[in-house]
Amino acid sequence: MTAYSLWLKRGCDVVAATALLLAVLPLLLVVWIAVRVMLGAPVLHFSERAGRGGRPIRLVKFRSMTTATGPDGALLPDDRRLTPFGRLLRRTSLDELPQLFNVLAGSMSLVGPRPLPMRYVARYSRRQARRLEVLPGITGWAQIHGRNTLDWPTRLELDVQYVDMLGRWYAPFLDLWIVACTVPQLGWQALTGRGIAAPGSATMTEFQ
């Protein structure tokens, strides 16, 4: 690991996340009110994900699905709980804005492999598990290469490639490049919806 990945990256995260939160504060308030009106309470959705070292973290997002259940009391499948308003939140990635608080808390970075469910940890190969050597991120190397349209082996391999590159001298420029690529990608994603969900799925397929 370089000095950047050990210390400077965290400092950059805190400064950038603070600036972004101040900039989008009015937008956060608008989305909060919209979710409360359209979907009701709770406004935020917390899920347990694998953080650095495989330790559990609480990922926070704006809620984009209803809490509708079937006769057995279990939640309905994602595609039946995802409303048009929820699809809009996901398409614009507005549902992920609260993750800036995860960055400030130190459980996430702005750039890194996306945090995945804890149940996936035991399913990783030895190489795939290397994605857990760094903090998970809001955006990352796999996200700018296709996000949820990628199959799982490709996506996890891109995450490992990022971990390898984070130890190189050009790591700060790599993170800047990923952030720079994320901005136009978000615009394209909002226009086309491409990358939000895996083919044939409302969200993403299960990693086996």
pLDDT tens sequence across 87-132: 999 999 999 999 999 999 999 999 999 999 999 999 999 999 999 9
Residue 94 lies in a domain: yes
Which is more confidently placed, 148 or 73?
Answer: 148
Beta strands in 30-124 (DSSP E): 44-50, 56-62, 109-111
Q: Please tell me the distance from the alpha carbon of residue 120 to that of residue 151, in angstroms, as a whole number.
A: 15
DSSP 207: P
Residue 202 lies in a domain: no
Residue 127 lies in a domain: yes
The tally of domains found in the chain comes to 1
Residue 200 lies in a domain: no
Residue 205 lies in a domain: no
Backbone angles phi, psi at 192, to 5 degrees: -110, -25
Contacts of 44 (CB under 8 A, 6+ apart): 60, 61, 62, 63, 98
Residue 204 lies in a domain: no
Residue 128 lies in a domain: yes
Structure tokens at 205: 């397929």
Q: How big is the chain, counted in residues? A: 208
Structure tokens at 42: 């709770």
Residue 206 lies in a domain: no
pTM: 0.92
**How confident is the model over 131-135, as a mean pLDDT?**
97
Identify the H or E element spanning 92: helix 84-92
Domain region containing 41: 3-192
Percentage with pLDDT > 70 across the chain:
97
| 117, 49 Cβ separation under 8 angstroms | yes
pLDDT band at 73 (very low <50, low <70, confident <90, very high): confident
**How confident is the model over 148-174, as a mean pLDDT?**
95
